[in-house]
Amino acid sequence: MLMNHPTQRSLIIALMLITLAGCSTTVRAPFEMPEAEWTQPAATDGLLAQIAADVTARAETLGDQTDHSDAGISGFKLLDRGEDALRWRLSLIDSATQSIDTQYYLYHGDNTGLLFTSRLLEAADRGVKVRIIIDDMGTLAISPSQAKLRDSMGALMIAHPNISLRLFNSSGNRNLLGRGWSFATQFEQLNHRMHNKSLTVDNQATIVGGRNIGDEYIGLNPHFNFRDIDVLGVGPVARQASSVFDVFWNSGWVITADPSTQAKAEGIYETQRLALKQELKQSETLAQFSLVARSWETEFNALTPLLHLGHSEFVTDRPDSDGISNEVFDWVMENLPEVQQDLLVTNAYLIPGPEGVAMLDDLVTGGAEVTIHTNSLASQDVAAVNSHYKAWRKPILASGASLFEARHDAAIKKSRVDTKPISSRYMGLHSKSLVMDRRFAVIGSANLDPRSAFLNSEMIAIIDSESLAEELAQAILLDTSPANSWEVGLNDKNQIIWRNDVGTVSRQPARSGWQRFQDLFFMLFPKRLY
């Protein structure tokens, strides 16, 4: 059920507590900063170093004379299937020889979280230095059983001498009610979250995009799975991602997670490691994935000639003593107006506001074709966003842009979303990417809403590669096809209608009356909360 989503559930609790607390906005004193520490230089040996060298050699063979610095050519693979997203993450971790840096907004204690944690522990056993940043609000449990598993995973990682774990913007409370109260009494501080998602290994390869660590992002949740997009990059792009990681790792917004004395106690640690392995073996949904580290040389050697080549640039919001900068939003507002021919956008949580609509109007007036793909109420996992998005449907259409909303029963669910043996009841859109003039692919964590623009930290990768941009464009166009989306339009009475290959409706699609109630309820609260 939708209310199991941690963001929405915690939001409701926070809203209630804010009311009880008289809407206090007391800002807590700054954190005591942990010791500064920086990403290790790029590994010079190992599989990922070899693949990065192969990418450079391939670029030179094709006549590219660019330098080999951090601004040089990288190789890219689009990850638009949940199964591939997990498999290639495991491939990077298993191939690590010296360092793993990873940061995520959500890190669940489910099958995906267990497998991801197990592989990080195996890498640490090999002597790899592992650093993890997790948003502290993102560690909220979505069920008691997950809470137990999540806490066990955390204890194991913290206890390992080669793993360091830091929490972003911690509330200081470990239970749901306590965090809700902290959120209410320290709202101004705690309303800022780290929404970044990245995994960087050996400073030679990285995966960035919209996916968190959790079953629904990989296609392994039997109830609800996300349509999402990441990109795997090899080469200088990894150093760019590392520089973003270091900004957060050394910021005044993080604290070091407390060591678990229980996990360090004699005999307990190994027992817990064994329990983790047994938990993995009992999982039927992970049957097609290797449960232990293995060699990925064959897969990487086959992949290398197929990688899209291109330059990349990262933009990230930066946490400082005054708050979180709006650099990603500024980049969007400065660069999207430069589009000349076409702009393709897929974004899960869309609240464009007057500035966004004005930009769309200018683009279309200037001759550009604009296609926007977002969630319908039916596919939305956070009804609060739809409550404030729906007022912008007509202005978006009036600008001349084409508007599509994802179907919860999209045909693409079977091939791109669900991972066997799972067949979920419905799907939602979680992607955050766009294509500019079929040349630039922009993939990252940023939604096009006020929360991403002004409250959360976000990161995006801007990749100059016509072949990658075209592949991403085709993925977005597939998502907007009638079997996968509703096309939003107006009838002759200027009323909004939704069309797909089944028919036309004049009431926004929804899965249930409960969803429609939430849509109305969240209209009572200002959009700055979301």
Residue 200, phi-psi category: left (phi > 0), alpha (psi -120 to 50), beta (remainder): beta
What is the Cα–Cα distance from 352 to 389, expressed in whole angstroms?
8
Q: From residue 271, how far is each of 151, 159, 275, 277, 365 by CA, in Å?
A: 15, 13, 6, 10, 65
What pLDDT shows up at residue 33? 72
Nearest by Cα to 269 from 261, 279, 257:
261
Residues 6+ apart with CB under 8 A from 114: 149, 153, 276, 279, 280, 283
Q: Which residues pair with residue 45 across a beta bridge?
A: none
CA dihedral 208, 210, 214, 217 (to 10 degrees): -120
Nearest by Cα to 405 from 372, 367, 356, 443:
372
Write out residues in the chain with pLDDT < 70, as ranges: 1-32, 64-70, 138-149, 172-176, 179, 183, 259-266, 527-530
Residues 6+ apart with CB under 8 A from 160: 121, 124, 130
**Domain ranges (residues) in the chain:** 315-529
Give yes or no for a contact between 6 and 105, defined as CB atoms under 8 angstroms apart. no
| Paired sense of beta strands 402-406 and 369-375, if any | parallel
Q: Which helix (H) or strand (E) holds 332?
A: helix 327-335
Buried b (16+ CB within 10 A) or exposed e, 400-432: ebbbbbbbbbbebbeebbbbeebebebbbbbbb
Axis crossing angle, helix 82-95 with helix 111-125, rounded to the nearest 10: 20
What is the Cα–Cα distance from 381 to 375, expressed in whole angstroms?
9
- The CATH class that applies to domain 315-529 reads alpha beta
DSSP tally for the chain: helices H, then strands E: 20, 22
3-state secondary structure 363-409: HHHCCCEEEEEEECCCCCCCHHHHHHHHHHHHHHHHCCCEEEEECCC
What pLDDT shows up at residue 383? 92
Residues 6+ apart with CB under 8 A from 40: 98, 99, 129, 203
What pLDDT shows up at residue 32? 64
The predicted-structure confidence for 477-489, as pLDDT tens digits, reads as follows: 999 999 999 999 9
Structure tokens at 114: 């267990």
